[in-house]
Chains A and B, each alone.
Chain A
């Protein structure tokens, strides 16, 4: 029965995408000010959403994999590309005020600057395609760890790392709610 493929999967893509876009809007993360103020440490909405999604998603997906209902989809860690790419991404995200998903969703809520940045994203994708041959040979080949997880590199049990992450997230949220982290 699962996974669904073919045309039904295409219909589900729109449904699941719509759920994602709806949640992003309800979570306020389609507001430029909310995202920028996370990086200025004045509003922790973005981290609250992301860390909760990671912990809740992580526990459920682990359980589903153990029940045989799902498989992991871990991607290769090409460390040089990930580090350089993430550093460029952080600069771009703060200049834009959005990441790719929130930028597209924010465009739908009337934010013209999000649309202009989305056109910029198409341009960035073209630049990447144009430079891919070089990047693929000179960057993505350096420091390859394969489909590694934190459990592989630390030697700790997978579940223990999830519990540590959950505890860390709860501690962070408690500090935020007590007003200890957000700057005025």
Chain B
């Protein structure tokens, strides 16, 4: 069996079902669907306050709606971090990785190249998620499971855009 606590990997369907059941629980117990990016925006407001001062941040119309505080959403992200850390430690699969294998095969071992693209990609993903009203979790899964138009529009467009981007990045050199 490859499903033990220490082997570190469960079959994807079991993991998907687990996230589905977790959705049942959060809908009932806290009435707050799984989501990530609203809370990241709040944290970004907290970081921005260190640079430009809390008054400037609180006057921003977006951060006025989503102020930085230790609320359900931000603590959910803390939990997500801790849960992944615990799983990696228990399964002894915590590894420092700077350049992942598939990237290295295509773009070489340069650490700075990978880091610049990861930074730009993270920024774009966050910007797009906020404009769309959520990310893969909050929009794709939590809205998708409620058959919300916003969730399915996000899933289809995101996937199409990702396919095109991956094709452009990884197509064989002529």
Kindly identify which residue among A15, A16, A26, A89 contacts B9, using a CB–CB cutoff of 8 Å: A26
Q: For residue B153, give the distance in angstroms from its CB to the closest CB of chain A.
A: 5
Interface residues of chain A: helix, strand, loop or mixed (majority) = helix
Interface residues of chain B: helix, strand, loop or mixed (majority) = helix
A-B pairs with beta carbons under 8 Å apart, 26 shown: A26-B15, A36-B103, A40-B170, A49-B16, A60-B23, A69-B28, A74-B148, A75-B139, A82-B157, A83-B153, A89-B128, A91-B161, A92-B127, A93-B136, A95-B120, A100-B136, A101-B137, A109-B87, A110-B97, A113-B97, A116-B118, A117-B118, A125-B41, A129-B44, A129-B48, A162-B147
Q: How many residues of A contact B (CB 8 A)?
A: 126
Across the interface, name the chain B residue whose C-beta is closest to A158: B147
B19 neighbours in A (Cβ, 8 Å): 20, 23, 49, 52-53, 56-57
Across the interface, name the chain B residue whose C-beta is closest to A96: B121
B93 neighbours in A (Cβ, 8 Å): 25, 109
Residue pair A117, B121 in contact (C-beta under 8 Å): yes
Residue pair A50, B140 in contact (C-beta under 8 Å): yes
Residue pair A92, B29 in contact (C-beta under 8 Å): no
Interface size class of B (residues with CB under 8 A): 35 or more
Q: For residue A110, give the distance in angstroms from its CB to the closest CB of chain B.
A: 5
Give residues in A with beta carbon < 8 Å to B. 2-4, 9-10, 12-33, 36-37, 39-41, 45, 48-58, 60-61, 64, 69-79, 81-114, 116-130, 132-133, 135-136, 139-140, 145, 147-153, 158, 161-162, 165, 173
Kindly identify which residue among A27, A69, A99 contacts B135, using a CB–CB cutoff of 8 Å: A99
Name which of B88, B98, B127, B139 has the most chain A CB atoms within 10 A of its CB: B127
User: Which residues 55-102 of B sit at the A interface, judged by CB distance below 8 A?
Assistant: 60-63, 70-73, 75-88, 91, 93-102
Contact A121 to B84, CB < 8 A, known contacts A26-B15, A126-B44: no
Q: For residue A74, give the distance in angstroms from its CB to the closest CB of chain B.
A: 5
